[in-house]
Amino acid sequence: MHRRDFLKTAGIAAGASVLPFLRYLPAEAAGREDTLLVVVGHGINSLDLHRKGTNRPSYQVTVNLYDRRVRFGVKALPDGSLTYDSTKIEPEVAESWTVSEDGKSLTFKINPKAKFWDGTPVTAEDVQWSFSRAVSLGGFPAVQMKAGSMTKPEQFVAVDNMTFRIDLPEPSKLTLPNLAVPVPFIINSKVAKANATEADPWATEYLHKTPAGSGAYTISRWDPGQQFVYERNDDWALGPKPGVKRVIVREVPSAATRRALIERADADLYMDVPAKDAKELKDAGEVKVSGAPIDNCLHVLGLNVEQKPFDDIRVRQAIAYALPYKDIVSAAAYGRAEPMFGATETKPSTIAWPQPFPYVTDLDKAKALLAEAGLADGFETTLSFNLGLADWQEPTALLIQESLGKIGIKATLDKIPGANWRTAALVEKRLPMHLENFGGWLNYPDYYFFWAYKHGHLFNSSNYKNDEIEILVDETLHMETDNPKYDENVKRMIEIAFAEVPRIPLYQPYLDAAMQRNIDGYASWFHRQLDCREITKTSEKT
């Protein structure tokens, strides 16, 4: 498909009827002010985030069904939209906490109001078992815990029923905020242990389909590939009572159908709206659009440095000068983005992150760099993108393909189904040139580098390895930000990223949601999933 053909068809809405969608909904949902109807593009594949293979949409299950030690606060943006506040950590199951003088122990008092769904109290033993599970099952959850210096079950101590302690090998600025991300959720260990087996000591098969939490919602129905339904836990006492009794999250693969549903008021909330639709819906003014730049998140073009010719820094820089940045922000992001190009300095003067890289579209410079690399006539390669994110990746890929052709690089587009993307790009890391997105859950630049620039880490899809980066990240990750070396180290990391560009930033995306005018309390979160707990719905839609 060529860019001109895509642009001809991009604005044509699919004529799909919304009636099949409505057939799946409980009859009592229609017109009920205590039911929130949410449409999403991708549904959950598990009720257990710790389980291997659990997809990103399933992260929301943890947020709504389970409690954590602490949570982040929420703040209002100038336009009235709500977003999480990375600088504010509030109690959840933890009523209070103290940090030892040497910073190597955090001790938490458990709120006696914390009760599991079966009425039993949340105890330190439950927390200890849940955290031990998170570090023991491997994969993404274990690495996420590692970012907060939590790697071994022995670090988690049930001092008494209502007191829990974490012992650290070294003080870390990331430990406390890392307890507010979805991974360290608290499971009813008595229920889990009763359903564990010798072959499955952590009850992964049981918890995959049968959660055992204490959260503000329970789950009453899950039809894989279609919908799942949350029901409010009226006994939850760790915050204000959720404003909506029932939440139906319906999987609707077609973005055009999702948009039609929100425009016709057949849905209350549309999560993760494509940039084009967000702009047009906002301009039309019939529904509310809430959006914010995603902290610590970038859309990038990844270049696999273990494959020729991308192992040559001159080739990577040539591509960085050949990208049509302004067209990408216009045609793929529709202005719902913060541009990440055009910096005037090659050495950063601040540690702000994300920050623009020192590249602009300069085809003459790109050609000269290719000639220096012995590739004056260009070369052939593939440019892969995720069909599950086609709303921004397809127009971006077409624009990049067109622009690279002007410097002699023939890029064949490789369309990979969303279900296969994680394996190809992040696990096997086999794609030569590819579009990728990563957002760090903890809002620190060194945390982004930990995931996306350290060799072997999941989101380093470029197979990049730089010995200085390896040392800098390890030295800086747990360092307090007021340490004089912190700024120095972060600036050096960014300087290396500027020069070596294994990941070429395009823009910082917005997370947009559209909702009826009677919906309030929606906030955008770093994990980019639905948090139902603060949302309210009144009877009037205007």
Query: For residue 3, what pLDDT is reported?
Result: 41
The phi, psi pair for 427, rounded to 5°, reads -85, -60
d(CA 71, CA 88): 8
> Residue 4: pLDDT band by 50, 70, 90 thresholds?
very low
In the block, tokens 């939490």 appear at 213
3-state SS track over 29-47: HCCCCCEEEEEECCCCCCC
Query: For residue 26, what pLDDT is reported?
Result: 53
434, two tokens? 């590819």
Query: For residue 139, what pLDDT is reported?
Result: 86
Q: Please report, for residues 66, 175, 516, 535, the alpha-carbon distance to residue 37 in angstroms, rounded to integers and kept in the order given.
A: 21, 36, 10, 12
Query: For residue 25, what pLDDT is reported?
Result: 53
Range of 5-19, 135-149, 502-516 with top mean pLDDT: 502-516
The average pLDDT across 120-130 equals: 98
pLDDT in tens, 278-287: 999 999 999 9
Domains 32-250+516-537 and 297-510 share a fold: no
Report whether pLDDT(121) > 90.
Answer: yes
> Residue 2: pLDDT band by 50, 70, 90 thresholds?
very low
The phi, psi pair for 35, rounded to 5°, reads -120, 130
The average pLDDT across 64-84 equals: 94
The average pLDDT across 387-411 equals: 96
Query: For residue 388, what pLDDT is reported?
Result: 84
Query: For residue 33, what pLDDT is reported?
Result: 76
Fold entry, domain 32-250+516-537: D-Maltodextrin-Binding Protein; domain 2 (3.40.190)
> Residue 119: pLDDT band by 50, 70, 90 thresholds?
very high
Report whether pLDDT(199) > 60.
Answer: yes
d(CA 15, CA 502): 41
Report whether pLDDT(98) > 70.
Answer: yes
Q: How high does pLDDT run on average in the chain?
A: 92
The phi, psi pair for 12, rounded to 5°, reads -90, 115
Report whether pLDDT(489) > 70.
Answer: yes
Report whether pLDDT(342) > 70.
Answer: yes
Q: Please report, for residues 34, 57, 338, 347, the alpha-carbon distance to residue 22 in angstroms, rounded to integers and kept in the order given.
A: 17, 22, 37, 55
Query: For residue 519, what pLDDT is reported?
Result: 95
pLDDT in tens, 346-365: 999 999 999 999 999 999 99
Walk across the sheet containing 70-76 and list its strands: 70-76, 82-91, 523-524
Query: For residue 540, what pLDDT is reported?
Result: 63
Amino acid at 151: T
pLDDT in tens, 150-182: 999 999 999 999 999 999 999 999 999 999 999
In the block, tokens 């389970």 appear at 66
Query: For residue 418, what pLDDT is reported?
Result: 83
The average pLDDT across 48-64 equals: 91
Report whether pLDDT(266) > 50.
Answer: yes
The average pLDDT across 309-313 equals: 98
> Residue 214: pLDDT band by 50, 70, 90 thresholds?
very high
d(CA 91, CA 167): 19
Query: For residue 541, what pLDDT is reported?
Result: 53
> Residue 315: pLDDT band by 50, 70, 90 thresholds?
very high
Query: For residue 476, what pLDDT is reported?
Result: 96
Give me the helices (H) in 86-138, please: 124-136
The average pLDDT across 450-465 equals: 95
Domain boundaries, the chain: 32-250+516-537, 297-510
Q: Is 106 left (phi over 0), alpha (psi -120 to 50) or beta?
A: beta
Domain 297-510 is in which class?
alpha beta
Vertex 384: Cα angle to 380 and 388 (nearest 5): 165
pLDDT in tens, 7-54: 333 333 333 444 444 444 554 544 467 899 999 988 899 999 999 888
